[in-house]
């Protein structure tokens, strides 16, 4: 099963806002939706999916297991609860949202439970999020080669995460970029503005195209229908080698997601 290159992120979207966003996105042609237990929006996304009339088999749904549910006795019940909220009998991809803080639950335990969830048909694929090179090495050793559908990491023109991305690629683990627009920080970058003008594109499209052109999946988020439609056009934008080299110069290790209670020792 191939990881979609482009989808909708729903971080920080709740209630009617996430319902309207998902409804608009599906109407525009989005078919991959990314959520998480900690986002507290699975039920509202489920309502939007049900109301859309889009066939379940045409959708690619991703959710993430929160750290409080990592233990063997909690992980599968928590995933079943997520499925109930989403109104489906399985998701397409389930991720470990963050590595277990202070290794409170061993990776053997939570990845073992996730593998069992897949064996039970609750999820079609499994993966991880916010894993470093060392953690990814450990996860591959536990789950086996070619078993991880993705490592979802923060990656933007301002945080290019090259060592980790290159390691993941070498191990056959696809990378999903979240916060590709760095909370909007990159949208006014002069380099991106110039590239965008040359292509008759937006800076958001340039940043998203830059990521996808390197083989990363992207899951941008917006509450505005016009921005949702505009972001999709990044799939058709092709940047030149010179454009890509210019974006490469923007890396400044500017990380947005770095919660003290969860973050590992970043590469």
Angle between helices 107-119 and 72-86 (to 10 degrees): 40
Sort residue 25 into left (φ over 0), alpha (ψ -120 to 50) or beta: alpha
Give the distance between the most distant pair of CA atoms in the chain. Answer: 55
Measured CA to CA, the distance from residue 61 to residue 58 in angstroms comes to: 10
- Of 30, 39, 110, 158, the catalytic one is 39
Angle at 240 between CA 236 and CA 245, to 5 degrees: 125
Measured from the Cβ of residue 265, the count of other Cβ atoms closer than 10 Å reads 7
> Is 39 considered catalytic here?
yes
CA distance 196 to 147: 37
For the purposes of burial, counting CB atoms within 10 Å of the CB of 28, is it exposed (0-12), middle (13-18) or buried (19 or more)? middle
Mind telling me the catalytic residues? 39
């Amino acid at each position: 099963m191939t990881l979609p290159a482009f989808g909708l992120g729903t971080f920080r979207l709740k209630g009617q806002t996430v319902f309207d966003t998902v409804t608009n996105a599906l109407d525009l042609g989005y078919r991959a939706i990314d959520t998480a237990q900690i986002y507290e929006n699975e039920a509202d996304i489920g309502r939007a999916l049900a109301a859309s009339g889009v066939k379940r088999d045409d959708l690619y749904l991703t959710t993430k297991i929160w750290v409080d549910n990592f233990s063997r006795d909690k992980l599968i019940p928590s995933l079943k609860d997520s499925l109930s909220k989403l109104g489906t009998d399985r998701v397409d991809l389930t991720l470990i949202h963050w590595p277990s803080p202070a290794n409170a639950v061993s990776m053997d335990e939570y990845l073992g439970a996730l593998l069992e969830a897949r064996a039970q048909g609750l999820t079609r694929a499994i993966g991880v999020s916010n894993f470093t090179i060392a953690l990814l090495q450990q996860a591959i050793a536990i789950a086996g080669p070619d078993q991880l559908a993705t490592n979802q990491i923060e990656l933007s023109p301002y945080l290019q995460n090259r060592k980790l991305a290159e390691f993941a690629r070498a191990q056959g683990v696809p990378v999903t970029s979240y916060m590709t627009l760095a909370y909007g920080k990159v949208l006014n970058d002069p380099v991106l503005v110039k590239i965008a003008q040359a292509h008759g594109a937006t800076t958001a499209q340039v940043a998203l195209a830059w990521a996808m052109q390197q083989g990363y999946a992207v899951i941008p988020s917006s509450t505005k229908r016009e921005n949702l439609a505009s972001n999709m056009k990044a799939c058709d934008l092709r940047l030149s080698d010179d454009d890509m080299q210019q974006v490469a110069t923007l890396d400044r290790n500017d990380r947005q997601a770095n919660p003290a209670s969860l973050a590992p020792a970043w590469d």
